[in-house]
Amino acid sequence: MEKPFTNPFRPGAGHMPPYLAGRTKQTQEFQKLLEQTIVTKNLVLTGLRGVGKTVLLDTLKPIAVNAGWLWAGTDLSESTSINEETVALRLITDLSVVTSNIIFDRQIVRTFGFKRDETLIDTTLNYEILVNLFKDIPGLISDKLKGILEFVWDCLKRQNIRGLIFAYDEAQTMADHTEKEQYPLSLLLDVFQSLQKKEIPFMLVMVGLPTLFPKLVEARTFSERMFRVVFLDRLDEQDSRDAIVTPIQGENCPVKLSEESIRLIIDISGGYPYFVQFICKEVYDIFVQQHTGGQNLRAPLDEITRKLDNDFFAGRWARATDRQRDLLTIIAGLPNADDEFTVQEVVEEAKKSEKPFSASHVSQMLVSLTNSGLVYKNRYGKYSFAVPLLAQYILRQLREKPQQQKLF
């Protein structure tokens, strides 16, 4: 009996789509970095939510492993960068996962002058050993971390390993804390720059929202030269079409989309991979039910859009105050709302409203909206929405507002 064809589309945070469309160029950029014999460039993978950063990161790991690199890493959170020691322990924890089967000998231990060399014979590089060695090294946290990583590489290079990649998702959550005299982000950058200057092939891959790279540059200006920045944008029309059509090309797939349906999905999704997956999953489920019930096949895209609004946008919109919503509505009315905008452009547009904003007021509110994750400021002093297609959502809310008021 032929296995039934299940819905292939998978909307969700970091869920691998049935077909990864439009990321060949970015993958090739990463492969070039893997060819470095001396690491001079690390990778920043950035973009708005819903463009598939986590998915692409997951596809890069096997590429690196097949090229002879080890891969360590995890998702970061604000707690990771509480202080310098927490970052150091984070790296040691991730490192120990891939080194716990590596055995080192007396000669390496004595070369680095560790106190407890007698207890380390035929011992693996597990977490307990690495932490104890970390504590043994004199000096600042950065000195200790550099010492551990140099020691680990001296062990790894004997295993015919090409290098080691530390990959971190949600890296925009990292920050220095000047008021507490703690600089965990600067520590991370300083340590890797130092190791790479010594030709130790440890590479950083940092993934996050567009606020990530400006944070790195603010922490250490040499970050501009230390990273290759790859910005993930929406899919073009052909890649969007491939993401929609390819997963349902199987002979036993009960759903076939018309050209009109495909064009509508591309238009509504804006080419953002998460939205493509969300809309296609809903369309697939509805078509299967209509087909089973003997109905004419029709995708209620207005209803699906409303469901997307509730699932993806509503929670973020609810975090804004009434006055912030007024400002966001003004921004949504700009012809370049989906691209970049300046404070002055917002002020000029606001003059058309009943409650205009001054330049200083707009600047202050944009800072607050940046902190809440609704907008971000790029390196050139311009702002953009941090949530894809937020402008269209705001305009839909504006159109529906008179209808909602009539209900009460």
Query: Each residue of 272-284: pLDDT tens digit?
Result: 999 999 999 999 9
Is 353 part of a structural domain of the chain?
yes
Tell me if 361 is assigned to some domain. Answer: yes
With a cut of 50, say whether residue 68 has pLDDT above it: yes
What is the average pLDDT value for the chain, to the nearest integer? 89
Instruction: Report the pLDDT value the prediction gives residue 405, as an integer from 0 to 100.
Output: 39
Tokens describing residue 286: 């509805």
Looking at 262, 294, 315, the residue that finishes a domain is: 315
pLDDT at 239 over 50: yes
Answer whether residue 2 shows pLDDT above 80.
no
Q: Same domain for 181 and 58?
A: yes
Instruction: Tell me, yes or no, whether 192 and 257 share the same domain.
Output: no
Which helix (H) or strand (E) segment holds residue 20: the answer is none
Q: Which domain holds residue 62?
A: 24-231
Report pLDDT digits (tens) over 242-258: 999 999 987 788 888 88
> What is the tally of structural domains in the chain?
3
**pLDDT band, very low/low/confident/very high, at 123 (cuts 50, 70, 90):** confident
* Eight-state DSSP code of residue 293: T
Whether 139 is covered by a domain: the verdict is: yes
Confidence of residue 291 (pLDDT cuts 50, 70, 90): low
Domain membership flag for residue 408: no
Is the domain of 141 the same as that of 211?
A: yes
Residue 218 sits in the same domain as residue 262: no
The confidence score (pLDDT) of residue 254 equals 83
Residue 407 binned pLDDT confidence (cut-offs 50, 70, 90): very low
Question: Does one domain contain both 116 and 187?
Answer: yes
Residue 120 in tokens: 């380390």
The mean pLDDT value for 145-154 works out to 94
Average pLDDT over residues 51-57: 95
- Within a domain: 182: yes
Q: Name the domain boundary from 281, 315, 349.
A: 315
Task: Report the CATH number at residue 35.
Answer: 3.40.50.300
Residues 293 and 337 in one domain: no
- pLDDT > 90 fraction of the chain, expressed in percent and rounded: 70
Residue 404 lies in a domain: no
pLDDT higher than 90, residue 287: no
Report the CATH number at residue 381.
1.10.10.10
Boundary (domain end) residue, out of 315, 333, 365:
315
3-state class (DSSP) for residue 116: coil
- Burial class of residue 249 (count of CB atoms within 10 Å of its CB; 0-12, 13-18, 19+): exposed
Q: Are residues 133 and 56 in the same domain?
A: yes
- Are both 143 and 278 inside the same structural domain? no
| Residues 297, 246 within the same domain | yes
- H/E run at residue 392: helix 390-406
Is residue 24 scored above 80 in pLDDT?
Answer: yes
Assess whether 308 and 246 both reside in one domain. Answer: yes
Mean pLDDT of 27-48: 96
Mean predicted confidence (pLDDT) in 341-353: 93
Same domain for 274 and 200, yes or no, is no
**Which range among 29-38, 312-321, 328-337, 397-406 shows the weakest confidence by mean pLDDT?**
397-406
> 0.85 cut: is pTM over it?
yes
- Residues 303, 357: one domain? no
Rounded mean pLDDT of 41-47? 97
